[in-house]
Amino acid sequence: MDRAGDVREVQVSGVPTSFDESVVLLDVREDDEWQRGHAEGAIHIPMGQVPARMSEIDPNAKLFVVCHLGGRSMRVAGYLAQNGYAPINVAGGMQAWVDAGRPVITDGGGVGTV
C-alpha cells in the first residue's frame, strides 16, 4: 500500500466520539493490538486484510482510519483513496486517542490499553 499525498488527516479532537453506519472508525492494527484495547464502535480490519475486505467498508460513510501511531493508517488511507474512498487519517493513532483521554475498551467491555 502506498501513501497518498492527498489524504486528509485530523487530530483526535476532530474525530467523533461515537460511530455508526454513516461515521466509521476503521482500526487497521493487528489482532493482538485490537484485543488489548480499541475505541468503542470501531470496526477492525488489520492492514494486510484491507484489500480483500474492502466490501465491508461503506464508501459513502465518513471514514476515519486509525492504527497505533498513525503511520500504518496513513498507508491504508492512501490505498483506500486510490480506490474511490475519502478516508481521513487519525494523526497520532490510538496513542493520541488515549493521550486525549478518550476511552479504550476490550471486546468484553472492560478497560483496555494501547
- Residues tagged active-site: 67
Q: Which three cell numbers stand for residue 111?
A: 478497560
User: Which amino acid makes up residue 65?
Assistant: V
Find out whether 65 and 26 touch, Cβ atoms under 8 Å.
Answer: yes
**95 to each of 37, 41, 71, 98, 103, how far by Cα in Å?**
11, 17, 12, 5, 11
